[in-house]
A and B are shown apart, each in its own frame.
Chain A
C-alpha cells in the first residue's frame, strides 16, 4: 500500500551529494513497476540522469531510459530553460521567429538568467505541463512525474515561483502561468521529499528545509535516509564501546577462541576501532531522533556497492516499495 496514493508529482530534494538523483531515479522505477508510465525530469542542466542510466546526454525530449519490473516504463527529460522559453513563446504567442532572433542576440539567455523567477516558472511550468497532460492534448500521458530538484537550500525558493514572479509581473501570462504552477504545487497531488544521510549537516538542512517548506505551504512528503550502514555491534555493547570501556579481557578471550593471537596492541587497536564505530552509531541514532521529530514518513535505504548500475537502482526501487513509499 502506498503512503502517497494521491500524489502525481514527486519532487526530490536534499543536501548536495546525499543521493537526490539516485533516489529520484529509484523512485521513478518503483512508481513504474507493474506497468505504469513515469517521467523522470531534471532541471539543473547537469545531465545527471543520462550519466546514471549510462545513456548519451538527453536532448529536450522525452526519451525512454528504462523499463521497470512488471512492465512499466521510465521516460526522462532534461529540462532546459532556454528551450522551455522558446517552446512557451511559440505555443502561446506563435513567436517562433521572434524566438530564434532573440536567441541569436542573447536575449533568451538574458531573460532566463536574470529576470527574477522566470527561469523557475519555465522549469516548473514544464514539469507541471507533463504532470497534468490530458487525453486529448499533445504528448505522452504519465501516471506520475518525478523531479530531480535543486538542493534543500534552494528548494522552497525554487518552488515558490509565485512570490518571485509577483515582484516582476503583477499580471499577464507569466503571472498566470506562475499561479497555476503554484496551485498544483500546493495541492495534495504534489509531495516534496527530502533525501538525507545520517550526518549532522544534512540532517540539520533537512530540518530547516521541512520548516521552510511548511512555512510556504508546500506539501512536505517523505524523508528518505540514504546510504545507511548496518550497525555491526550488538545494541547492548554500543554504550560501553562508545565510552571506550569495552571489555578487553573478553575481546582477548574471543580472539584466542577464533585462533588469533591476542597481542595487546591488536586488542587495543580493535577496541579503539569499536569505539569509533560505536560513536558513529550513537551520532546516527541522535540524527534519527531529529528526523523522527519532523513527523514525516521516513524510509531508510542502505549503502549499496552498485548504486550506479541499473541493478542497484532496481534494488533501491524495490526497497522503497517494500517500505511502503510506493
Chain B
C-alpha cells in the first residue's frame, strides 16, 4: 500500500483558509472542527466556521447560541501559543446584516419584513452557500486569525458549494429582475417590446392570482435589489477569487461509499478545471480489522460448527461479528483502492470509523491525529 497521502500537519501550519467540502453527511463538520482544533493546538490562531453542527459537538465547543459571532473554545491546549474560536453560521442573520449595512434604518426595516426578501433569505436554494462565502470574506477581512477553517452546508452534491452562490447571483442579476427594475435597460429594441408586453402580462397575472398587495411587495423588493444588492454576481465572483488565492486549500471529505466517492471525484475534477487548490481527500469512516488473516469464510464456517455443537455461543457470536466487520472492511478497502487508482495524483488520508459519534474535544483530537498519522487502530490490512 504505497498510496500517496498528504501532509495534514504541514497544511495546518501554513494555510490561511481551508475549505472542507463533500456530499451530505460524510463528516465535513467533524473534519473541519478536528482540523481547526489540531491547528490551534499546534500553535496557530484559528477560527472555524461551522454549519449546523450536531448538537452535542456544538455544545462541546461551547457553541450554544446561533449568533454569528466567533467565540473562544475553552479547554484547548494553548501551550503552543495557539487559540481556537468557533462559530455557527446563521444564514438569515448574515443576509440581514448585508441589508443593514447597505441601507438606512427605515429602508432596512421595510426590506427585512418584505415577504419576497424573507423567502429569499431563508429558503432560496443556494443562500446558505452564498452566506457561508460572505461570512468567510468578512472573517478574512477582520484579520484576527492566521487560519480560517470553513465547513460547507449539507447538500446532495459537493459541487453545490461552488455553483450555488453564482446561481443566486445570476438569479438576482437576472433578466427578470432587470426587467422589473428598469425595462428600458433590458436589451435591444426587439427584446424590449417582448419584454414590455411580458412585464404587463406578468403583473396582470400576479394581480389576478395573488392580489394587489403582492404586487406592491414585489416592487419594493425589486427596487431594493436595485439599490443595494446591485452587483450580486460581482460580489459572488469577488468572494470566489478568495478561494483561488494562495493560502487557500480545499479538502474533499468522502466516505467509502459509491455515491460519496462519485461526488468526491466530480469535485476533485472540478477543482482542477477551475484551478482551485486541492490539498487532498479525507476518506472518513473507513472500517478495518486487526484480525484480517482470519477470513470471512473461515469465521462463518467455525461459527456454524459451534452452533451445531450447541457449545460456545459467545464465541460463535463473536466470530459472526468479526465476519461482518471484515466483509465491510474488505468492501471499504476495495472502494478506497479504486478511488486511489482512478486519481493517482490526489493525496488521500484515511480516518477510521470510530465506534461512536464524535461529540467532544477528545473525539476531535483523535480524528485530528488520524488525519495526520493515519488510523491509529492497527493498520488496515485488508484481506481479499
Q: Which residues of A come within 8 Å of B, CB atoms?
A: 16-17, 46, 89, 93, 95, 98, 101-102, 104-107, 109-111, 113-118, 154, 157, 164, 167-175, 199-201, 204, 232-234, 237, 246-247, 250-251, 253-255, 257-260, 265-266, 269-277, 279-280, 283
Contacts and interface: CB of A to CB of B under 8 A. Distances in A.
A266 B294 contact: yes
Given A107-B202, A116-B116, A237 B356 contact: no
A87 B106 CA distance: 40
B175 A251 contact: no
The SS class assigned to the B binding surface is helix
B184 interface: no
A66 B73 CA distance: 54
B343 to A, nearest CB: 24
Contacts of B359: 200
B211 A172 contact: yes
Contacts, number: 189
Contacts of B357: 199-201, 283
B319 interface: yes
Contact of A16 (B54, B154, B198, B378): B154
B87 to A, nearest CB: 20
B262 interface: no
Contact of A95 (B24, B205, B294, B318): B205
Contact of B290 (A102, A259, A269): A269
23 contacts: A16-B154, A93-B205, A101-B201, A102-B198, A111-B206, A117-B119, A118-B210, A157-B123, A170-B213, A173-B208, A237-B314, A246-B318, A253-B315, A254-B315, A255-B315, A258-B305, A258-B316, A260-B294, A260-B298, A269-B378, A273-B290, A274-B317, A275-B355
A202 B306 CA distance: 38
A237 B204 CA distance: 72
A301 to B, nearest CB: 19
Contacts of B24: 16-17
Given A116-B118, A168-B210, A266-B291, A102 B201 contact: yes
B373 to A, nearest CB: 19
A258 B315 contact: yes
Interface stretch (B74-82, B133-141, B228-236, B320-328): B320-328
B101 interface: no
Contacts of B124: 113-114
Contact of B120 (A46, A114, A246, A250): A114
Nearest to A89: B205
Contact of B314 (A251, A265, A279, A280): A251
Contacts of A237: 314, 317
Residue picked from B179, B209, B210, most chain A C-beta under 10 Å: B209
A168 B312 contact: no
Given A106-B175, A258-B319, A279-B356, A116 B314 contact: no
B291 A234 contact: no
Contacts of A169: 209-211, 213-214
Residue picked from A115, A117, A237, A251, most chain B C-beta under 10 Å: A115
B291 A101 contact: no
A102 B303 CA distance: 68
Contacts of A93: 205, 208-209
B202 A105 contact: yes
Given A273-B291, A275-B355, A201 B303 contact: no
Contacts of A174: 209-210
B105 interface: no
Interface residues of B, number: 68
A106 to B, nearest CB: 4
A232 B174 CA distance: 58
Interface string B331-371: 00000000000000000000000011101000000000000
The SS class assigned to the A binding surface is helix
Contacts of A253: 312, 315
A17 B209 contact: no
A113 B123 CA distance: 10
B143 interface: no
A279 B355 contact: yes
A270 B198 contact: no
A101 B194 CA distance: 9
B56 interface: yes
Given A232-B317, A270-B318, A105 B154 contact: no
Nearest to A200: B357
Contacts of A274: 317-318, 321
Contacts of B294: 260, 266, 270
A106 B205 contact: no
Contact of B25 (A16, A115, A234, A259): A16
Interface in B52-66: 54-56
Contacts of B199: 105
Nearest to B115: A167
Contacts of B305: 258-259
Given A111-B206, A246-B314, A251-B315, 6 more contacts: A93-B208, A114-B119, A167-B115, A175-B211, A257-B315, A271-B318
B130 interface: no
Residue picked from A98, A154, A164, A254, most chain B C-beta under 10 Å: A254
